[in-house]
Amino acid sequence: MSAPVDEHRRTMTYADAALGKISELGELADPRSYAAWFTYATACSPSQNRIVDQTLVRKGAITPTELEKIYNYPQPDLISENVDKLAASVADEVEQVMAMIDAAVGNVASYRHGLSSMTEQLDHTQDRESLRAIVESLVQATISMDATNQALTASLKASKQEITQLQDKVELLRIDSLTDSLTGIANRKFFDRELEHCVAKAQASNGGLCLVMIDIDHFKAINDTFGHMAGDEVLRVVAHSLKQHVQPNDLAARLGGEEFAIILPDAPLRSALTVAEHVRCRIMAMHFMKRSTGENIGKVTLSGGVAAYRKGDTAWSLIQRADNCLYAAKRHGRNRVVCDEDALAAA
């Protein structure tokens, strides 16, 4: 059986499972809910799936908002509201510019008409006084036109500045939609998009690609013992460490909960292992304290899994192999990194 057929059947199984879950819970089958439940069905993010399962056991249901938060999807209402505001601002600014241009066209037409009228008068003027009056009118008309042009230039400059600021806001909104608000690194949406792109590039060029999955060990215990504020601080420190160990072409992302990932295009497996080990050792060497109370949190450790692209891989299959390695590291004592060529992963 060919790989594409296998992949088709696998994804259809995920799709059926996602729709089945939506039907079971009586939720709206909108694209965002479907995307989150599809991710759940693939089991490629076990830590988030556990949170979903715990929520369902505790409450018997889970809202779309809770689901999106668990899987680290950006809030649609906030993004939509900001887009609507920016679109309205751009439309208003463009309308003002068009009104200024229309006014300028009218002024030019009026000035041209005045010049034509004065030219006709010059043809029939015989005395000096009449000639002087025509020239003075011409000078006044020119001065008035110059003032109008200066005002138009100033208005257009102001509009250009406003439009530039709106463009900057649009860019910031684009970045916000792809960034995890807590840690400042890429969110799940950006990760999924970038990984698809990198896998396609690796397929086309037979180039290298590695994926690192990292999970904070016993993170629930940190939250339960010291509170979510302390947990958030640990997440920020881990994210900062990831950023410090990636190159400009790499991507560090928070997938949700305590799970992170690093996409390493054109990187051999050994280099990806080195990056993961450096991050793990850096965090293990730190001593964490709760800022608000000075309580000693102690050591925090990470488990990691590394998978290298293989011919025929899809984004999902690469994630699954990296995640298998991650949970092999968990099973064998945590605070370690396992790659997909390791005997522990095979076991």
Neighbour order of strands in the sheet with 302-308: 251-256, 259-265, 209-216, 302-308, 337-339
Half-sphere exposure of 55 (CA within 13 A, CB side): 16
Q: Is 68 marked active-site? A: no
- Sequential DSSP letters for 212-240: EEEEETTHHHHHHHH-HHHHHHHHHHHHH
- Sequential DSSP letters for 133-151: HHHHHHHHHHHHHHHHHHH
CB 99 within 8 A of CB 155: no
Question: Hey, how many other C-beta atoms are within 10 angstroms of the C-beta on 238?
Answer: 26
CB 272 within 8 A of CB 261: no
For 305, list phi and psi in degrees, rounded to 5: -130, 140
Alpha helices in 26-75, H assignment, sequence order: 31-42, 46-59, 64-70
- Whole-angstrom distance, CA of residue 217 vs CA of residue 7: 32
Active-site residue, from 95, 258, 295, 341: 258
Residues carrying an active site annotation: 258
